[in-house]
Structure 1
Amino acid sequence: MPGIEHSAHSMQARRLSSAELQSQEEPASATLLNAIACGAALVAPDGMLRHANPALLDILHEHLADLLDRDAASLFVLDESGTPLTAAALSARCGHASGEVLAKRKDDTLVPLLLGVRPAPGTDGLLLTLQDMTQQRALSDQLQQALRMDAIGQLTGGIAHDFNNLLTVIIGHLELLADEVPESDDRRELLDPARHAARRGADLTGRLLAFARRQVLSPNATTLNAVIESVQPLLERTLGETIQIIPLLSAAPWLCKVDVAQLENALLNLIINSRDAMPQGGTILIQSDNVQLGPTDLEPTGPLTPGDYVQLLVTDTGTGMSGQTQRRVFDPFFSTKHKGKGTGLGLSMVYGFIRQSGGTISAYSAPGTGTTMRILLPRCDNCAPIAGEETGLPALDAARLGRVLVVEDGEEVRNLACRLLGDLGLETRAAANACEALQLLDRDERIGVIFADILLPGGMLGPDLAARAKRHHPGLKVLFTSGQGREHSEEEAAADSGLNLLAKPYTKQSLAKALFELQ
């Protein structure tokens, strides 16, 4: 390369001319370079390539004859914009130093390389070593993406917690007000839109919690075939005649344990996205499979372990996505749709739900080639099939339940809970923290149920309170509530121990149903 200097690394050995280097040293140097496992090249003092080993030729997708006597600096670029690496910039890397560069192949694709530049022994030339960093960069990107998604999940979960407490108060009081206003009253025109807007707010926070993997799920055993078949009639009515749905269902589907309603909603989201990517119509393929994944089938930094999984593929013939869009496709509030056409929470909700269910979702696409969404969920061998849900709500038995101790640090939520329980015919006591609750339990033998928020102030959380209370009152029943879903190990412990968890915002009906299950 013209202008390369080695002032910091003056050579003590005899220096050869370019012609001498080519005629005398190159065969021995070539043999040495060919034995190096990583990419390697020998550069003459004039900056021209004199030899490249087979590993480097494989990396660059080049032939040796096409590289000889080529300016070495022309092989590299500084960044994805394609700015060439100048001879002076390469010269600055001389010595026992290394750094990342990009090499440009014949097809204009870029490959990341770890470039090392050292003086070639016995010459004025340079020895370049180049290691393909494609896999390392991919692993680093996956780790950064996982950390970023987790950080966003922490933020959205915290926002959802505070917003759900507000919505609990709003929805609860609107419900109480609706009980006082007759259907024929003109004030219903003001009340009903407010209730509808509050429910939409609850749905929005539910999506945030789904992305943050903290929503309260009700998993049951099912097959992907059953889920696909249940939503197919709705899909056919929704998509219209220009889009064809082709289901390819597994002949012997394995069971998986998942919240069926949430999985149906996730599938609907994927299908709607596929529809939007095919404005002129097209085909959507929905496929269910049983797959066995070994260590080589999984990403090294991924959440899955080798084993049996059920696989759901949704493939469309739409416009496809660029690599940049694929990297952000599951981010909350990221959308390629026009402003006002979507919240940007659909795929983020699907991502959070699938991860919370122990699976993964991945996107495979390229511009003009359509998109495939791949969902993997763990196989479930020892789980019973779905049971039918009970309809209707029997009256609560106040004598069997006893008084309900409401433990909630938010005064407005605490007062509302007491009011709703009173409307359900139950007597209540109230406490702002676990210590107050334990004192009330010791003084009131008629308390039969603790209705407690999981996150309480004072250093004692809801599950801690329940454990201490049940040691002294073995027959005590416990119902937890949370505006943040299952964030902490305490929430998971509560679920695993069979104790009920009622998500905020709750209504009088959902509260009554949860209490009925305790009777």
Structure 2
Amino acid sequence: MNQPVISDSPAKILIVDDDDRNLLALSEVLAPIAEVVCTSSGHDALRQLLREEFAVILLDVFMPDLDGYETAALIRQREQTAGTPIIFLSAVNKETEHLMRGYEMGAVDYVFKPVDPVVIKSKVAVFVDLFRTRRQLETSEKRQASILRALPMAIYEITDRNGEMFRQFRGGDLAHFLGDEAESVLRGDREWQEWVHPDDRLRLSQDAERGSDSVVIEYRWIGPQGSRHHILDQRVRTGTGAARGWAGSLLDITERKELEARLVHAGKLDALGQLTGGVAHDFNNLLAAMLGGISILERRLQLGEREQLVVDQMRHAATQGTELVRRMMAFARQQELTPSSIDPASLCDSVAGLVNHTLGGKVEVIWDCPDAGHNLFVDRGQLELAVMNLIINARDAMPDGGTIHVSISEGKTADPNKPMLSIVVADTGTGIPDDILAKVSEPFFTTKEAGKGTGLGLSMVSGFAHQSGGEIRIDSKVGKGTRIELTLPATRSEASEGKPVRVSDEDFDWIKGKAFLLIDDDDAVRVVLGEQLRDAGGTVRDFASGNAAIAGVERDRESVDFVLSDFAMPGLDGIKTLQKIGELIPNARRVLMTGNADDPRLTFSKDIPVLRKPLSLQQLTEIMTG
């Protein structure tokens, strides 16, 4: 059987009368109140009720074929129209028994003809207003139900059934949590608590039994398909005595929890990045003193074979420290990058030469580096280090041997004017469990044994990728291996040459006879670098602060060829120091030294080069003679 259409259409009045004159008169009186539909028989009235919903029915009692009482009985039998108000109209049958029969048929009123227009209008207006109010409430309820269905939440009641608490869901989107299992829970075949994390079930029941009239609890919930959620369960007491129960809501706060975790993580990374910059500055000063001191000892002393071996190990340890600082700065995205055009094939060749001797006989590397039509446009040294780190990690994930596949291809990009290349390093190793996959790029996080990893490898790769304008993606399955993809900027520019040629000791001749002004608040750096310059034939005046250096120049205007100043110093920093000295001795060439790369002021002048610590005479020579 068809059902009446419930919509937001205007309220309607149905008038049923076999006399056309009555229909005309009543419709004229009632038209200002609502839309009027007229029919001349009970059969026509029933057909109208199948199609539409009416606020009120005015029904003539005496009609041929189907009279008003019979029509009313049929209207009341249908669930969809049983509650529609009926006002009987009659020109005869004014006896009490007819009035009672009319009310028994479900009439709300019984009006005699001729009808008083004012009276009938006021009576009908009441039911039209009630209809409109009900429709507004229904619309509001539907809107609320739609909102609830759009939210990741469900509404429930908990009642006591023979001493056992029974949860019944009343609204919301239960399918959001349970999918196809929602129906079994609504029927009562299964219970919500079945999916609550086992470690949280006891706490959930204990909180409900504390005697409080309200409970707010968060717990973990594992869905039928293994999906993991965080649930906020809020409930309040309802009823009294035997009818006492709970009314509450379940809200999926998984996204909020994940966002909170990301914000906390981002805050930690930001704090660690700031700490890294400060640590790098001090550490680079220590390394500069160590490496410079080793060079001085080698120049001044005649070392035997065993002594030279010890010195070589010292230099190796200090160089490893330099590399560690570089990784930390890469994680903090504070290292200085010098992008250049890199041919993918040359990258594979250079990295292969670096790692082949470290892989052992059980690990095979397959290189797939075809001509992709573009060259990579990133810092070559950092890129080689990043790819080498990924390969070494892949090797460590395959203790029994396996295959590492390194490939380079065109990367996906939303902007055709910004080409990208994709570098993929995939292994057949042990894989990474889901619960730690999100942590592997965090600094100092490692799954290796103590002493076998710093935990900075992947964080360095991630920092380098993002600082270069690219991204990193890690996919892994336990027992099947790991796939790491670096997507990096590319260019059609011709590939640059490889690493710059390093200078030899003979190239230090430019230092002979030159006068240097050396300014650094670190005694070790000042002493060691000063001795290196003196050994190379230069004269050095050194100062521990910018103010002391300026005062010294103002006192003694001796000729100065070069001024080397540290950046981070108490009092005047290196920039202000060099600016002031430049005013006093404008012909001297100035160089800024720093162990920290995160200050934008370091690029304050194109005429003053910036050298990163630990500083060597080779670096200084490349800058001064390049």
Structure 2 contact 181–224 (Cα < 8 Å) conserved: no
User: CA separation in 1, counterparts of 2:215 and 2:414?
Assistant: 39
* 1:326 maps to 2:474: no
Partner of 1:55: 173
C-alpha distance in 1 between matches for 2:218 and 2:370: 46
Query: Which one of the candidate residues 575, 584, 589 is aligned to 1:477?
Result: 589
Q: Secondary structure at the match of 1:86?
A: helix
Question: CA-to-partner distance for each residue in 1:2-55, whole Å, 9 max, x for gaps?
Answer: xxxxxxxxxxxxxxxxxxxxxxxxxx9997646522222332423433336573
CA deviation digits over 1:64-93, x for unaligned, max 9? 33103268661564x684545534524779
In the other structure, the counterpart of 2:32 is: none
Distance (whole Å) between structure 2 residues aligned to residue 434 and residue 415 of structure 1: 16
Matched residue, 2:482: 371
Could you tell me which amino acid in structure 2 is paired with residue 418 of structure 1?
G
- Show structure 1 runs of 5+ residues with no match: 1-27, 296-305
403-412 or 200-209: bigger deviation: 200-209
- Alignment partners' CA distance in 1, 2:510 and 2:523: 27
Question: What residue identity is the alignment partner of 1:426?
Answer: G
Change (3 A) 1:281 1:253: farther
Q: Which amino acid aligns with 2:391?
A: I
Matches within 5 A, 1:443-482: 443-444=556-557, 446-458=559-571, 460-470=572-582, 474-482=586-594
Return the offset for 1:274: 0.9
Distance 2:577 2:410 in 1: 44
| Residue 360, structure 1, aligned to residue 471, structure 2 | yes
1:402–1:446 Cα contact (<8 Å) kept: no
- The corresponding residue for 2:551 is 439
1:86 equivalent in structure 2? 204
Match of 1:41 in 2: 155
**Distance in 2 between residues matched to 1:361 and 1:50, nearest whole Å:** 46
Residue 424 to residue 116, structure 1, CA distance change in 2 (3 Å): same
1:418 maps to 2:538: no
- Cα contact 2:517–2:564 (8 A) shared by 1: yes
- Residue matched to 1:220: 340
Q: Say how many residue pairs are matched.
A: 473
Once residues 102 and 66 of structure 1 are traced to their aligned partners in structure 2, the CA distance between those partners, rounded to angstroms, is 21
Deviations 1:224-274 (A, max 9, x none): 454234323554554355444344446534444322122112111111111
> Structure 2: how far apart are the matches of 1:253 and 1:462?
45
Q: CA deviation at 1:455?
A: 0.5
- Residue 156 to residue 392, structure 1, CA distance change in 2 (3 Å): closer
- 2:458 aligns to what SS in structure 1? helix
Match of 2:624 in 1: 515
Evaluate the alpha carbon distance shift between residue 209 and residue 370 of structure 1 in structure 2; reply closer, same or farther with a 3 A threshold.
same
Shift of the alpha carbon at 1:154? 3.1
- CA gap of 1:113–1:255, structure 2 versus 1, over 3 A, is farther
Aligned to 1:74: 193
AA in 2 matched with 1:457: P
Distance in 2 between the 1:151 and 1:274 partners? 30
Secondary structure of residue in 2 paired with 1:446: coil
Partner of 1:19: none
Residue 153 (structure 1) shift: 3.1
Indicate the larger mover: 54-63 or 429-438. 54-63
Which residue number in structure 2 is paired with residue 386 of structure 1? 496
Corresponding residue for residue 294 of structure 2: 174
Check the 8 A contact 1:60/1:103 in 2, yes or no.
Answer: no
2:232 touches 2:251 (CA, 8 Å); kept in 1? yes
**TM-score normalised over the length of structure 2:** 0.65
- 29-38 vs 267-276, which moves further: 29-38
Counterpart-to-counterpart distance in 2, 1:392 and 1:362: 39
User: Where does 1:129-208 land on structure 2 (aligned, <5 Å)?
Assistant: 129-184=249-304, 187-188=307-308, 190-208=310-328
- Identify which of 484, 506, 511 aligns with 2:615: 506
Instruction: Say if 1:187 and 1:34 are closer, same or farther in 2 by CA, change over 3 A.
Output: closer
Counterpart CA distance in 1 for 2:211 and 2:585 is 74
Q: Which of the pair has the greater relative contact order for Cα pairs under 8 Å at 6+ separation?
A: 1
**What SS is found at the alignment partner of 1:318?**
coil
Closer/same/farther in 2, CA of residues 187 and 348 from structure 1, 3 Å limit: same
Counterparts of 2:288 and 2:353 in 1: how far apart (Å)?
35
Does the CA-based 8 Å contact 2:204-2:217 persist in structure 1?
no
SS at match of 2:562: strand
Please report how far the alpha carbon of residue 150 of structure 1 lies from its aligned counterpart in structure 2 after TM superposition. 2.7
User: 1:104 Cα shift?
Assistant: 2.5
Distance 1:62 1:210, change over 3 A: same
Residues 1:65 and 1:332: Cα distance change in structure 2 (over 3 Å): closer
On the 8 A contact 2:159/2:167 being kept in 1, the answer is no
Q: Amino acid of the residue matched to residue 41 of structure 1?
A: I
Give how far 1:278 is off.
1.7
Could you say which residue in structure 2 is the equivalent of 1:24? Answer: none
Distance across 2 between alignment mates of 1:35 and 1:115: 19
Which amino acid counterpart does residue 520 of structure 2 have in structure 1?
A: E
Residue of structure 2 in register with 1:404 after alignment = 516
TM-score where L is the length of structure 1? 0.77
SS in 2 for 1:444: coil
1:336 shift after superposition: 1.7
CA–CA separation in structure 1 for the residues paired with 2:212 and 2:347: 61
Shift of 1:397: 3.2
Alpha-carbon distance change, 93 to 337 in structure 1, aligned in 2, over 3 angstroms: farther
Residues 446 and 454 in structure 2, CA contact (< 8 A), matched pair in contact too? yes
What's the counterpart of residue 14 of structure 1?
none
The offset of 1:337, in angstroms, is 2.1
Report if aligned partners of 2:157, 2:170 keep a CA contact under 8 Å in 1.
Answer: no
Unaligned runs of 5+ in 2: 1-137
Could you say what secondary structure the match of 1:48 adopts?
strand
Letter in 2 for 1:507: S
Measured at CA, do residues 333 and 507 of structure 1 come closer, stay the same or move farther in structure 2, by a change above 3 Å?
same
Distance in 2 (CA, whole Å) between partners of 1:370 and 1:30 is: 52
Report the counterpart of residue 17 of structure 1 in structure 2. none
* Cα deviation digits, residues 92-149 of structure 1 (max 9, x gap): 7987875533222124542123334356899965544333333333333222222222
The amino acid across from 2:594 in the alignment is S
Aligned residues: percent identity? 29
Q: CA deviation at 1:343?
A: 3.4
From the superposition, tell whether residues 368 and 192 of structure 1 become closer, same or farther in structure 2 (CA, over 3 Å). closer
Quote the Cα distance in structure 2 between the aligned partners of 1:185 and 1:315.
43
